[in-house]
Amino acid sequence: MPQLPNIPAMSRRDLLRGGVVLTAAGAAAGTGVLSSAPAWAGGTNLGGLPSFTSGVQSADVTTRSGAIWARADRAAQMIVEVSTSADFRHARRAGVKKLTSATDFTGMVEVNGLPSGSEVYYRVLLASADDPSRVGETTVGRLRTAPDKPRDVSFVWSGDMCGQGWGINPHLGGMTIYETMRGLRPDFGLWSGDTIYADGPLKETVPLADGSTWYNVVAPGKEKVCETLDEFRGAFRYNLLDANFKAFNQEISWLYQWDDHETHNNWYPGQILTDANYTEKRVDVLSARARQAFGEYAPISGASPDRAGRIYRKISYGPLLDVFLLDMRSHKNPNNVGQNDPAGAAILGKEQTDWLIRELGRSRATWKIIANDLPLGIVVPDGAAIEGVAQGDNGVPLGREVEFARILSSIKHNKVRNTVLLTADVHYTAALHYTPDRAAFKDFDPFWEFVAGPANAGTFGPNGTDGTFGPEIVFQKVPPAGQSNLPPSAGYQFFGRVAIDGWSRALTVELRDAAGTVLWSNQLPAAR
């Protein structure tokens, strides 16, 4: 990659003008990147007409549908057109959405009737709020619909963006891991939680152990911990200042999942904070604001099985793949209560647990990916308490393990084949194999869990494991002993890639670093 010039820390005034150009070499060279917003996004002089501030993106794409997202710099009408050709010669209008201050000028149009197994181009036009014939800025994106017949499918996954003091570094070309992932041309991306760090403000400079300096772009929403709705929104807007991330969004669809840092580290419903950085101590108030901002900036299909609005769902991506995205945050019990109870403690809750068991049993896809935003067998502590599922005692299921013991038993007894767990959260990468031969709990079939992250946040680990479900660490890449919270420049940033062969139906998992180097891979044959 060519050396980028020294770029001074950007001022608040510069950022409020609209955006920042932070592009990796591939994007700068135009290697396959679609036409994107101007350098200073939102700063285009369009005679008072609306323009984009944060690019465009698509999400929750299935065989025939998908959600298209955009944000304007003012009240506008978002008009979405779709076509199977880049020239839009036979485009059709797919929907219109009013963008208002009530949603921070963001909006999502759910598009139906798309051709299966196809590259679909979408065009987003921003028109005057009171006159749709007066069109301001226009941007084109691309998505790939799921096939209706077996064919090769691939996707990438990671989590943990702009945390632990490490934000967008203009000296390093921004968050280049997203350009690496985009270059693999996956069908979609799975974001496994911690889409923002609402509890992680940034400083313009951070001294590093080797005597050098890390530089952060700092913008509203990242100057202090997020408490107000606009501060949570600002944290999402911050990520979208990065051109690498926006280029990925423009070409590759996301499946978004949330975890704790969208609100506060290790939060649970009903928690009252003791953190002196917060004036609003009620986590339920903070999480409601975080949930609203997440819904505005992380597009999710309106279909939900949960009357309480928890963020779990199944996305079917053709005959080879169903993805089950869990919400392991909204219904969990307090981190210091009931973790040793043999009757169980909530992390999914009964309604979500029943839904997962039912939908896994109904699935006819070859592979069932369970996206669990907290790992199963890795111990995730919260001080002296437990934040995650594993209790750390190596014994029979207790506390939150009880729900997962029920799920794993149902998978075995319902003869659900080819189930794989994918997660992030712990800020390193690993492959774990689970088998009853090593486990205290025996009533389940062997399975794999893969961990990948962070993607532009601090690196930690390794954590300990719990023997309840018999995990074996087959591979892991962690910081050197005694080192933690390493910056992205240290080289310990990770993502995973999953590829399913359309003919053999075998699934290959690759664990990669930010440069795209395959650190470990394994092919899993499909059980019939």
pLDDT digits (tens, 9 = 90+) for 71-94: 999 999 999 999 999 999 999 999
Question: Within 13 Å and on the Cβ side, how many CA atoms surround 122?
Answer: 37
DSSP 246-297: HHHHHHSEEEEE--STTTSTT--TT-B---TT-S--BHHHHHHHHHHHHHHH
- CA–CA separation, 130 vs 84, rounded Å? 30
Query: Which two structure tokens, joined as six digits, stand for 522?
Result: 């394994």
Of 269, 298, 243, 293, give the one whose Cα is nearest residue 60: 298
- CA–CA separation, 439 vs 404, rounded Å? 14
Residue 48: the pLDDT is 87
Cα dihedral 311→316→320→323 (10° resolution): 0
Beta strand pairing status for 429-434 and 447-451? antiparallel
Q: Nearest-5° angle of CA 358, CA 361, CA 366?
A: 135
Percent of the chain with pLDDT over 70: 90
Residue 307: the pLDDT is 67
The position carrying tokens 């003091």 is 165
Query: Which two structure tokens, joined as six digits, stand for 132?
Result: 């749709």
Domains, in order of start, for the chain: 35-144 (2.60.40.380), 153-524 (3.60.21.70)
Beta strand pairing status for 447-451 and 419-423? parallel
The whole-chain average pLDDT of the chain stands at: 91
Residue 310: the pLDDT is 74
Query: Which two structure tokens, joined as six digits, stand for 374?
Result: 């907290």
pLDDT (tens digit per residue) in 200-211: 999 999 999 999
Of 329, 311, 310, give the one whose Cα is nearest residue 380: 329
Of 95, 89, 101, give the one whose Cα is nearest residue 67: 95
Residue 338: the pLDDT is 86
pLDDT (tens digit per residue) in 412-450: 999 999 999 999 999 999 999 999 999 999 999 999 999
Residue 18: the pLDDT is 34
Query: Is the separation of the CB atoms in 487 and 354 below 8 Å?
Result: no
Q: Please list, residue by residue across 428-456, b when 16 or more beta carbons sit within 10 angstroms of its beta carbon and e when fewer do.
A: bbbbbbbebeebbbeebbebbbbbbbbbb
Query: Is the separation of the CB atoms in 438 and 472 below 8 Å?
Result: yes
Beta strand pairing status for 66-72 and 106-111? antiparallel
Residue 40: the pLDDT is 28
Q: Please list, residue by residue across 162-179, b when 16 or more beta carbons sit within 10 angstroms of its beta carbon and e when fewer do.
A: bbbbbbbbbbbbbbbbbb
Gyration radius of the chain over CA positions: 22
Q: What region, left, alpha or beta, does residue 156 occupy, with left being phi > 0 and alpha being psi -120 to 50 degrees?
A: beta
More confident residue, 18 or 112: 112
Residue 311: the pLDDT is 87
* Helix H or strand E segment including 238: helix 229-239
The position carrying tokens 């339920």 is 284
Query: Is the separation of the CB atoms in 371 and 193 below 8 Å?
Result: no
- CA–CA separation, 2 vs 32, rounded Å? 18
Beta-carbon contacts of residue 8 (< 8 Å; ≥ 6 apart) = none
Q: Long-range pairs for 306-311 at CB < 8 Å and ≥24 separation?
A: 306/351, 306/352, 306/355, 308/351, 310/349, 310/352, 311/257, 311/258
Task: For residue 63, report the phi and psi dihedrals to the nearest 5 degrees.
Answer: -65, -40
Of 236, 207, 194, 206, give the one whose Cα is nearest residue 219: 236
pLDDT (tens digit per residue) in 225-259: 999 999 999 999 999 999 999 999 999 999 999 99
* Helix H or strand E segment including 243: helix 243-251
* Polymer length in residues for the chain: 528
Residue 215: the pLDDT is 98
Question: Within 13 Å and on the Cβ side, how many CA atoms surround 214?
Answer: 25
Task: For residue 269, report the phi and psi dihedrals to the nearest 5 degrees.
Answer: -60, 140
The position carrying tokens 């999402």 is 236
Task: For residue 253, report the phi and psi dihedrals to the nearest 5 degrees.
Answer: -75, 155
Beta-carbon contacts of residue 78 (< 8 Å; ≥ 6 apart) = 70, 72, 96, 97, 98, 99, 107, 109, 124, 125, 126
* 361-385 average pLDDT score: 97
Please determine, for residue 43, whether its predicted confidence score (pLDDT) is greater than 50: no
CA–centroid distance for 463 within its chain: 22
Cβ count within 10 A of residue 117: 15
Query: Which two structure tokens, joined as six digits, stand for 400?
Result: 């939150």
Q: Please list, residue by residue across 251-262, b when 16 or more beta carbons sit within 10 angstroms of its beta carbon and e when fewer do.
A: bbbbbbbbbbbb
Question: Within 13 Å and on the Cβ side, how many CA atoms surround 424?
Answer: 32
More confident residue, 165 or 22: 165
